[in-house]
Amino acid sequence: MVLVAGASLACFGETLWQATPLTKEKEFTAGIEGPAVDRDGNIYAVSFARTPTIGKITPEGRGEVWIEFTNGTLANGIRFNRAGTMFVADYARHNILEIDPKTKAVRVLAHDATMNQPNDIALMASGRIYASDPDWKNNSGQVWVVEPTGSIRKVAPNMGTTNGIEVAPDEKTLYVNESVQRNIWAFDIQNDGSVTNKRLLIRFPDFGMDGMRCDVDGNLYVARYGKGTVVVVSPAGKVIREIALPGKNPSNVCFGGPDGRTVYVTEVEHTQLVQFRASRPGREWKMIH
């Protein structure tokens, strides 16, 4: 069933699917991206106050610069593992970074000079990382896999503008979207990290796409850049609902809150974090808890 965008649903005395701002407008720059939530419920997103930074935002919406890069690094996608280690796509220097949450020491986990600009990342329980790598100039892209050892290899060449990327809850399927072509593809994940059996999950007729994350049931929450919504797509490729946002350019989403059912959205038009409550927790939230 498709619900009207912005419609709310009361569940156990709370309102679901109704987006509201978490932070004030213009606390971030137009590079606002990320986002990811640590085990304490804090939200991290890039370009807080200025670029190049990662900001730390409390669940109440209070923000501060958590780290500022001085070596040319430009961060984009962020993820956390269960130990609390942060992983970051550094699109300017062709790296996947590993950051110690206590010391903020930054280490290059993986590097490949032939990357275009690693954009978003998806993390598996084993520590394996998949990274999207768009070439915006040529409307093309590819996907890389990074093992916990730091070894890196290309697993999906010759794609469209690869952007949002996510792993299904059973870790058997990799989802990759193409922003310009408006496709979401599904692949089978093999034991060695390679991906096979590319198939179209859904194609949208208009607007773009950016980041996306799964809930524990495998539904994809997809940022519809330009449309100002987050669309929820089932594992069968059907639109379940669409949530209207107070801004037309959402760039990415993540799950957090005390029960994993708060969805945080980085929104570029107003350069702020937006939030809404969902009915089910996020895949990654459950994984790190």
Do 97 and 104 contact (CB within 8 A), yes or no?
Answer: no
- Reported as a single tens digit per residue, the pLDDT across 116-153 is 999 999 999 999 999 999 999 999 999 999 999 999 99
C-alpha to C-alpha distance for 163 and 210, rounded to whole angstroms: 6
Q: Tell whether omega for the bond before 250 is within 30 degrees of 0, i.e. cis.
A: no
Predicted pLDDT at 13: 74
Average pLDDT over residues 24-39: 97
C-alpha to C-alpha distance for 89 and 187, rounded to whole angstroms: 21
Average pLDDT over residues 171-191: 98
Confidence band of 9 (pLDDT split at 50, 70, 90): very low
Q: Does position 67 have pLDDT exceeding 90, yes or no?
A: yes
CA distances from 121 to 4, 70, 108, 201, 205 (A): 30, 22, 15, 19, 25
Do 275 and 267 contact (CB within 8 A), yes or no?
Answer: no
Residue 4 is assigned to a structural domain of this protein: no
**Residue 128 belongs to what domain range?**
9-288
Residue 3 is assigned to a structural domain of this protein: no
Q: Residue 266, exposed/middle/buried by CB under 10 A (0-12, 13-18, 19+)?
A: buried
C-alpha to C-alpha distance for 67 and 57, rounded to whole angstroms: 12
Which residues, 6 or more positions from 94, have their beta carbon under 8 angstroms from its beta carbon? 111, 112, 113, 114, 115, 117, 118
Residue 48 is assigned to a structural domain of this protein: yes
The residues annotated with a catalytic role in the active site are 210
Helix or strand (DSSP H, E) at 288: helix 283-288
- CA nearest neighbour of 251 among 91, 46, 92: 46
- Of all residues in the chain, the percent with pLDDT exceeding 70 is 96
**Three-state DSSP class for residue 18:** coil
What CATH number has the domain bearing residue 167? 2.120.10.30
Residue 205 is assigned to a structural domain of this protein: yes
pTM score, two decimals?
Answer: 0.95
Residue 120 is assigned to a structural domain of this protein: yes
- Domains identified in the chain, total number: 1
Question: What does the angle CA 145 – CA 265 – CA 74 come to, to the nearest 5 degrees?
Answer: 50
- CA nearest neighbour of 79 among 96, 62, 58: 96
Q: How many helices (H) and strands (E) does the chain have?
A: 1, 26
C-alpha to C-alpha distance for 80 and 171, rounded to whole angstroms: 16
Residue 164 is assigned to a structural domain of this protein: yes
C-alpha to C-alpha distance for 72 and 256, rounded to whole angstroms: 30
DSSP states along 84-128: --EEEEETTTTEEEEE-TTT--EEEEEE-TT-S----EEE-TTS-
Residue 191 is assigned to a structural domain of this protein: yes
Predicted pLDDT at 218: 98
